[in-house]
Amino acid sequence: MSIIYNEKNQTFHLFNDSISYIMTVLPNGHMGQLYFGKRIRPREDYSHLLEISPRSMSSCVFEDSPLSMEHVRCEYGSYGASDYRFPAVELLQENGSRISDFCYTSHTITPGKPKLAGLPATYTEDDSEAETLTLVLTDRVAGVQLELLYTLFANGGILARSARFSNVGGQTVHLQKAMSLCLDLPDCNYDWIQLSGSWARERFPKVRRLESGIQSVGSMRGHSSHEHNPFIVLKRPAADEFQGEVMGFSLIYSGNFLAQAEVDTHNTTRVLMGIHPEWFDWKLEPGDTFQTPEAVIVYTDRGLNDMSQTFHNLYRRRLARGYWRDRPRPILINNWEATYFDFTEEKLLTIARTAKECGVELFVLDDGWFGQRCSDHAGLGDWMANTDRLPGGITGIAEKIEAMGMKFGLWFEPEMVNKDSDLYRTHPDWILAVPERRQSPGRHQHVLDFSRKEVVDYICSMMTDILSNAKISYVKWDMNRSITECWSSALAADRQGEVFHRYILGVYDLYERLTTAFPEILFESCAGGGGRFDPGLLYYAPQGWTSDDTDAIERLKIQYGTSYCYPISSMGSHVSVTPNHQVGRSTPLHTRANVAYFGTFGYELDLNLLSAEELAQVRDQVEFMKKYRELLQFGTFYRLESPFDGNITAWMTVSDSRDRAVVGWYRALNTANAPYTRLRLQGLDPNRLYKVREGDYCLGEFYGDELMYTGLITSDESLRDVPDSRKSAGDFDSRIYILE
Q: Looking at the annotation, which residues are catalytic?
A: 478, 548
Rounded (5°) CA angle 160-161-162: 140
Expressed in angstroms, the distance from the first to the final Cα of the chain is: 36
* β partners of residue 236: none
Beta pairing, strands 474-477 & 158-167: unpaired
Query: Three-state SS for 652?
Result: strand
Q: Measured over all CA atoms, what is the biggest interatomic distance in the chain, rounded to whole angstroms?
A: 87
Q: How far is the C-alpha of 689 from the C-alpha of 182, rounded, in Å?
A: 48
Q: How far is the C-alpha of 632 from the C-alpha of 641, rounded, in Å?
A: 18
Long-range contacts of the stretch 458-464 (C-beta < 8 A, 24+): 459/383, 459/414, 459/415, 459/510, 460/510, 460/513, 460/514, 462/383, 462/384, 463/383, 463/412, 463/414, 463/514, 464/513, 464/514, 464/517
Long-range contacts of the stretch 210-216 (C-beta < 8 A, 24+): 210/234, 210/261, 210/263, 210/269, 211/263, 212/188, 212/263, 212/264, 212/265, 212/267, 213/262, 213/263, 214/86, 214/260, 214/261, 214/262, 215/260, 215/261, 215/262, 215/263, 216/258, 216/259, 216/260, 216/261
Residue type, 578: T
Q: Cis peptide before 579, with omega less than 30 degrees from 0?
A: yes
Q: How far is the C-alpha of 349 from the C-alpha of 401, rounded, in Å?
A: 7
Q: How far is the C-alpha of 543 from the C-alpha of 534, rounded, in Å?
A: 10
Q: What's the Cα-to-Cα distance from 48 to each of 9, 11, 44, rounded to whole Å?
A: 11, 12, 11
393 dihedral zone (left: phi>0; alpha: psi -120 to 50; beta): left
Beta strands in 577-688 (DSSP E): 602-604, 636-641, 648-654, 661-667, 678-679
Q: How far is the C-alpha of 496 from the C-alpha of 279, rounded, in Å?
A: 9
Long-range contacts of the stretch 427-431 (C-beta < 8 A, 24+): 427/455, 429/489, 430/455
Cα–Cα nearest to 453, from 513, 517, 516? 513
With residue 338 as reference, give the H or E element that holds it.
helix 336-339
Residue type, 542: P
Residue type, 303: G
Residue type, 740: E
Q: How far is the C-alpha of 531 from the C-alpha of 549, rounded, in Å?
A: 12
* β partners of residue 137: 104, 146
DSSP-derived letter for residue 39 is -
Total residue count of the chain as it appears in this document: 740
Query: Are the beta carbons of 82 and 58 closer than 8 angstroms?
Result: yes
User: Which residues have a Cβ under 8 Å from the Cβ of 158 and sit 6 or more positions away?
Assistant: 152, 296, 297, 298, 310, 314
With the C-alpha atoms ordered 576, 578, 582, 587, is the resulting torsion angle positive or negative? positive
Rounded (5°) CA angle 584-589-590: 135
